[in-house]
Amino acid sequence: MASEGSESPLESKHEEQPAAKTLAQQLEEYVTDASSVKPEILDEILKGVAATGSTADYEWSSLKKLLQSRLEKVMEDFIQSSTTPPDVDGETYEVRFNRVKTLLSELPRAPFTVQRMCELLTEPKRTYRIASKFFDAFSKLVCGISGRIVEEEEDDDMDLQAPFERAANVIRDLAEEKLLGDDDDDDDFDAYGLGGVATTRAPWASSASTASITSSDLPPIPSVSGSFSSGSSSVTSSDLPPIPTQPNDNHSETANDDNANDLLA
């Protein structure tokens, strides 16, 4: 029997539960208290994203804070072993570094370059040996796509409204060009929010299009009897083929009537 001061096996197992936390949970703890998570766990998170490119298991707001912190550490190590990146276009390294951190923090979701970011941060000296080359490569992964992601976010908000706006623009243009209706009929359709568009009359049936047509513009009607003109030659009724006559069926009809009378008698 265990003494009062000793721990039971069940209690010791219960205290070991924090070791079974998922990487996502430990990442959230890192955001709250960076010293509470071992560096090996953070490396495992970044290497996992570098291998798969998937960030679905993590909150992007937490993951990008880890990326910012790791970028600071990697650049410090580079500068200690080589030199500080030189000024570019009159801007110091500190100004450019702060810009990259700001743009990274403002990304609304994980960019498609996040896999390459994690590859560089987990193995920074695999490809680059000096600080300026590494920083230029990492900067392109952030600065080159930050504006695109913001535009995509705005486009997503407009996708649902775009079809309706296009339809409204078409109707408005047609109404202004007077292709579908007259101004007198606009009030009947204002209640439907269509801007007075009415399909009451086709363009070719309007008074403006029929007013210029007179009887003199119509072709002459030919006469049935006599002669009439067709082109340059004159055609008379004698030139027409004879009309076939109906056969005389009076005899057959009389015979049928006689047979009917005999039956009635």
Encode pLDDT of 155-188 as tens digits. Answer: 554 555 556 666 666 666 666 655 555 555 444 4
> What is the token pair recorded at 49?
């994203």
Residue 257 lies in a domain: no
Report whether pLDDT(39) > 90.
yes
- 110 and 167 belong to one structural domain: no
Separation of alpha carbons 118 and 45, rounded Å: 9
- 132 and 59 belong to one structural domain: yes
- 173 and 60 belong to one structural domain: no
Q: What percent of the chain has pLDDT over 70?
A: 48
- 70 and 179 belong to one structural domain: no
pLDDT at 187 (0 to 100): 47
pLDDT at 145 (0 to 100): 76
pLDDT at 12 (0 to 100): 54
Residue 264 lies in a domain: no
Q: Is the pTM of this model over 0.95?
A: no
- 34 and 94 belong to one structural domain: yes
Residue 235 lies in a domain: no
Separation of alpha carbons 47 and 51, rounded Å: 6
pLDDT at 210 (0 to 100): 46
- 101 and 53 belong to one structural domain: yes
Summarize pLDDT for 212-228 with one digit per residue, the tens. Answer: 556 666 666 655 555 44
Q: Give the chain's domain count.
A: 2
pLDDT at 199 (0 to 100): 44
Residue 109 lies in a domain: yes
Residue 190 lies in a domain: yes
- 134 and 190 belong to one structural domain: no
- 124 and 25 belong to one structural domain: yes
- 35 and 106 belong to one structural domain: yes
Summarize pLDDT for 227-245 with one digit per residue, the tens. Answer: 445 454 555 666 666 776 6
- 62 and 28 belong to one structural domain: yes
Residue 155 lies in a domain: no
Pure H helices in the chain: 9-15, 23-32, 39-52, 60-81, 93-106, 114-122, 131-143, 146-159, 162-176, 207-210, 250-264
Residue 244 lies in a domain: no
Residue 44 lies in domain: 21-146
How much is the mean pLDDT over the chain? Answer: 73
Separation of alpha carbons 163 and 247, rounded Å: 73
Separation of alpha carbons 219 and 262, rounded Å: 61
- 183 and 109 belong to one structural domain: no
Residue 7 lies in a domain: no
